[in-house]
């Protein structure tokens, strides 16, 4: 799946463990509802954001997945969704002139 939009913010790299780091980017999408979408880049993918800036239009390839958990207070099942960029060789940013 590809998300097209304008970069609102690019977060700094967070070193989670000795072998795992992550970095997020928040996009204002160009769809009907102009939603904000957060995408994480991990490990070597973090550096891919260095060449981009806030306000720039991009297209990002993402894998979207969800996980469930039980609310300990109510016993109800809840879900959250997350978007992670493709593997580093598949990350696809395009120039503004290329976006449809």
> Using an 8 Å Cβ cutoff, are 10 and 54 in contact?
yes
pLDDT over threshold 80, residue 19: yes
pLDDT of residue 87: 37
Domain map (residue ranges) of the chain: 2-93
Give CA angle at 89 (23, 61), nearest 5°.
Answer: 65
Q: What is the pLDDT of residues 42-93, one digit of tens each?
A: 898 899 889 888 988 888 888 877 888 888 999 999 887 766 775 333 334 5
Q: Could you tell me the pTM of the whole model?
A: 0.70
Pick the CATH number of 2-93 from 2.60.120.330, 2.40.10.120, 2.40.50.140, 3.90.700.10: 2.40.50.140
Please give the structure tokens belonging to residue 64. 């979207």
Which is higher by pLDDT, 64 or 11?
Answer: 11
């Amino acid at each position: 799946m590809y998300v097209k939009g304008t970069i609102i913010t690019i977060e700094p790299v967070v070193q989670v463990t000795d072998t795992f780091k992550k970095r997020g980017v928040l996009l204002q999408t160009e769809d009907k509802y102009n939603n904000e979408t957060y995408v994480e880049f991990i490990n070597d993918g973090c550096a891919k954001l260095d060449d981009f800036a806030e306000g720039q239009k991009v297209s990002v390839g993402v894998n979207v997945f969800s996980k469930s958990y039980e609310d300990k207070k109510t016993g109800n099942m809840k879900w959250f969704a997350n978007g992670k960029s493709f593997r580093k060789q598949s990350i696809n940013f395009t120039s503004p002139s290329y976006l449809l």
